[in-house]
Amino acid sequence: MASSSVGRRLAACLLNVSEARSKELVETVAKAALYNTEGVRREGTTVLNIFNDHDYNRSVITIVASIDSISEAILSACEQACGLIDMRAHTGVHPCMGAVDLIPIYPLGEEVGAEDCTKEALAVARGLTERVRGTSAFLFGWADSPLQRGLAHRRKEMGWFRKKLDLQAIRADVGPQPQTRFGLTGEPKVADNEGVGAGPYVMNCNVTIDTQDISLGRSIAKCIRESTPGGLPGVQVLALPHEGAVEIACNVESVKGNPPDHLIVGEQWPSFSISGESFCHAPASLITARVAEFAGRHGVSTKGTALVGFTPRECRGLAEFALSQGIAEFWKEQRRIRM
């Protein structure tokens, strides 16, 4: 039965889980966000998209619900993932620390503010460490009060991407001292470690360059990341081997205010507002053009660009449609629905 989305205070969670090679397992995790243990559907909740990457062995599940009810949907999905994914058997080129690796909550409109998302992110962090024994959580963004350190900052602090971690040097924000990078399955005392946070919407834009030269990929990544002079605002980048080529994998954070004047020539930066403040994000076309420019200097071409999920505006629009039509498992329907 369809239900109206008018008046909904919507938020999204782009849940990152460390599994992509078992479609059934990932869909079981997604469905846990939509249905309780008795199989009864949670009203006002939809899963818009499931993005799987075989080489990364990582999936991104886009969960949308009212900000007042999203934490329970997220917790149920996380519990299911922690119970099903055994990190001791995990292989994949994308770095990760746990079965559930990242839990970001984003507002999808003016009606939801930073305080709302922070409250729910903290509820998820506390709830998961209580429900899943041995779990630790690291906070970022609005949820990391008072510092509000970004995800890239926290990952660097904790050595998120190092092959060998000094776990004794890491202090979790919520939960016990981390013991291992493993998930739960088969050994109830091992820990699962995840980042939980909130902030303005973050997109994922991945550009593939036609080479296997990872050092070239890393030099391109350095050129376009925000921390490099002349880099793109809000863009955090990794270069990873992917399907016989190199992927320039970008987290595209929304930035407050307007883009610098020199970056808007011929490029429209999508914008939105949160609690009366304006935000914008670098368009995928600009990121692709920059990667192509730097790769071209070395005689290398690009093979394509993939947007993981949606832009903030697309996410809001699709969520309103899915909820108004009563579609819970929207990821199964999106290919036949033309918006």
Does position 6 have pLDDT exceeding 50, yes or no?
no
Does position 46 have pLDDT exceeding 70, yes or no?
yes
CATH 3.30.70.670 placement within the chain: 202-309
Report the chain's mean pLDDT, rounded to a whole number. 88
pLDDT value at position 189?
Answer: 35
Q: Which residue has the higher pLDDT, 4 or 130?
A: 130
Q: Where does the pLDDT of residue 162 fall: very low under 50, low under 70, confident under 90, or very high at 90 and above? A: low
pLDDT value at position 182?
Answer: 42
Mean pLDDT within 24-33 = 97
Place of tokens 């090679």: 21
At the top level of CATH, the class of 10-200+327-332 is alpha beta
Measured over the CA atoms of residue 284, residue 291, residue 331 and residue 199, the dihedral's sign is: negative
Mean pLDDT within 34-52 = 95
Whole-angstrom distance, CA of residue 1 vs CA of residue 3: 7
Whole-angstrom distance, CA of residue 181 vs CA of residue 89: 12
Q: Which residue has the higher pLDDT, 5 or 74?
A: 74
Q: Collect all residues with Cβ–Cβ distance below 8 Å to 176 and sequence separation of at least 6.
A: 129, 134, 136, 191
pLDDT value at position 168?
Answer: 64
pLDDT value at position 118?
Answer: 97
Mean pLDDT within 134-150 = 91
Q: Where does the pLDDT of residue 187 fall: very low under 50, low under 70, confident under 90, or very high at 90 and above? A: very low
Q: Where does the pLDDT of residue 337 fall: very low under 50, low under 70, confident under 90, or very high at 90 and above? A: low
Q: Where does the pLDDT of residue 167 fall: very low under 50, low under 70, confident under 90, or very high at 90 and above? A: low
CB atoms within 10 A of CB 238: 18
Is-contact 130 122, C-beta < 8 A?
Answer: no
Of 3.30.70.670, 3.40.50.2300, 3.30.230.10, 3.40.140.10, the CATH number of 202-309 is 3.30.70.670
As a whole number of Å, the CA-based R_g of the chain is 19
Is-contact 57 20, C-beta < 8 A?
Answer: yes
Share of residues in the chain with pLDDT > 70 (%) = 88
CATH 3.30.990.10 placement within the chain: 10-200+327-332
Whole-angstrom distance, CA of residue 17 vs CA of residue 254: 22
**Residues 192-201: tens digit of each pLDDT:** 667 899 999 9
Whole-angstrom distance, CA of residue 140 vs CA of residue 45: 24
Q: Which residue has the higher pLDDT, 337 or 108?
A: 108
Question: pTM higher than 0.85, yes or no?
Answer: yes
- DSSP E strand boundaries for the chain: 10-17, 45-53, 58-66, 100-107, 136-141, 193-198, 202-209, 235-242, 245-253, 255-256, 271-274, 277-280, 302-308
Mean pLDDT within 63-70 = 97
199-216 b/e (C-beta count within 10 Å ≥ 16 → b) = bbbbbbbbbbbebeeeeb
pLDDT value at position 336?
Answer: 66
Does position 191 have pLDDT exceeding 50, yes or no?
no
Whole-angstrom distance, CA of residue 322 vs CA of residue 43: 12
Measured over the CA atoms of residue 77, residue 78, residue 83 and residue 87, the dihedral's sign is: positive
CB atoms within 10 A of CB 188: 9
For β-strands 193-198 and 277-280, DSSP reports them as unpaired
Greatest mean pLDDT among 6-20, 115-129, 176-190 lies in: 115-129
Does position 148 have pLDDT exceeding 80, yes or no?
yes
**Residues 252-302: tens digit of each pLDDT:** 999 999 888 878 767 789 899 998 899 999 999 999 999 999 999 999 999
Range of weakest confidence among 9-13, 141-145, 195-199, 305-309: 305-309
